[in-house]
Chain A
Amino acid sequence: MNVLKQLLNIFIFPGGLFVLVLGMFYLWVNRKLIARLQNRVGPRWFQPLADVLKLLVKEEIVPEGVNGTLFVALPIMALAGALTSVLYVPMAGFAPSHSFQGDLVVTIYLLSLLTLCLGLAGSLSQDRFSLVGATRTLTQLFSYEAPFLLALLGPAIVAGTWQISEIAAYAQGHWLVLTQPVGFLVALIGLMGKLEMPPFDAPEAETEIVAGALTEYSGRGLALFKLGNGVELLVGLTLVSALYLGGLSNPLWFIIKTGGLMLFLGFLQALMTRLRIDQTVGLWWRYGSLLVILQLIVLVIWQGVL
């Protein structure tokens, strides 16, 4: 019975199929929202699904001179990392199916696994554009990762635990966005960096390096990376709203909170220009890190005083 439940959790709900579908839905919400902010119509609800299906039936072209096994395996690893990280967050308002002390770090690591696979895939493809894109992806990873982790650490410190479900339970009563606004802001902007949303989409700058690390990918590999992107979006939103916006106790609150966060992200995306990679790194290492360290110092003192 336990094995059956585990399989159900991993493949159907909350991992696997459910989160793939929900991830595509959130990708659509993102595109539709930005389109409406720009006075356009935007795609219909099945557009991300149609994109994935179309890519899955296309031929996957492996460039000459590239390690074929690794080329095909990297998208699978990326998606696997994203899907595994789903198991530890309160997806759809239900308690996480697997939970243990320290799963906050594991979740963030699994999300970074996706970005690492992206960077590796870019360096693997023997293409100038993907090499520049991969370099930028990894540079960006090194710049926002530390502040992002520290920003998510803020709620962990006040809750006194490294387990996401317990932090979420602690956050039920208190909306940490009110007591740690700086941390919330850094976490949100860190999320934008992780998802490569404008203004941090230098790694996939269409007008400079075509498609960045994914330039040579087509067919199944590209579809899996896109799905991984959708799942990452979903997990990131869930994590930030569970930690900062007062926990996710039931599906209604899940939809409201993640939807609201998505709206806010949509505005930020539409209003900002793409930054150069050196400006991104400068911004993060100058302001991002300083702000979040300041926030942590305040928290530690607060905890010590109380």
Chain B
Amino acid sequence: MDKFGSMFGDTLASLLKAPITERYPFERREAPDDLRGRLVWNQENCTGCGLCAQDCPAQALEMIVLDRKAKRFVMRYHVDRCTFCAQCLASCRQEGLSMNHADWELAGLSRGDFDLMWGSPEDVEAVLAGADKPEIEVID
């Protein structure tokens, strides 16, 4: 039976209630717990194996090893290259990486915000000072 205006019920109901649009940024929903947000590095658990950096499809991680026995590592994370695929989480066997589900509004005004160096301050300084020294091993 062909009829006209088959969506009349929907349109009438919509006229009588509020629109479904979520007026971001004035209205924000909570992100689900498993949302793949920005990466978080757990320095204590990390053993510097570098599998995360090897497997990253976007080459967003670099594992810079200053001294493996003394566990002096610097993790370089390029947020702008990251595709948030969570392969690094799966590759790591020490639970050294996790993703923060609340940290997903990642727009920035300058490039510097997106090139992060994680590690203890003196290690990061050492890397920045002598990035091309032969004793520093870089896995990417």
Contacts and interface: CB of A to CB of B under 8 A. Distances in A.
A and B touch in the complex (CB under 8 A): yes
Contacts of B23: 41
A271 B7 CA distance: 6
Interface stretch (A32-40, A107-115, A154-162, A282-290): A32-40
B21 interface: yes
A272 interface: yes
A271 B14 contact: no
Contact of A41 (B6, B11, B21): B21
Interface string A249-280: 00000000000000000010011100000000
B10 to A, nearest CB: 8
Contact of B8 (A38, A40, A41, A271): A271
Given A267-B11, A271-B11, A41 B5 contact: no
Nearest to B5: A271
B20 interface: yes
A38 B5 contact: no
B19 interface: yes
Interface hub of A35, A42, A270, A272 (most chain B Cβ within 10 A):
A270
Interface residues of A, number: 12
Interface in A26-52: 35-42
B7 to A, nearest CB: 6
Interface residues of B, number: 13
Contact of B15 (A37, A41, A271, A272): A37
B102 to A, nearest CB: 27
A36 B21 CA distance: 11
Contact of A272 (B5, B10, B20): B5
Contacts of A270: 7, 11
A35 B14 CA distance: 9
Contacts of B19: 35-36, 39-42
B14 A38 contact: yes
Interface in B1-36: 4-8, 10-11, 14-15, 19-21, 23
A40 B4 contact: no
A268 to B, nearest CB: 8
A36 B5 contact: no
A267 B20 CA distance: 19
Contacts of B7: 270-271
A43 B126 CA distance: 55
B14 A39 contact: yes
A40 B21 contact: yes
B13 to A, nearest CB: 9
B19 to A, nearest CB: 5
Nearest to B6: A271
Contacts of A38: 11, 14
A267 B8 contact: yes
Contacts of A40: 19-21
Interface of B: 4-8, 10-11, 14-15, 19-21, 23
Give 7 nearest A-B pairs by CB, closest first: A271-B5, A37-B11, A39-B14, A41-B21, A41-B19, A39-B20, A270-B11
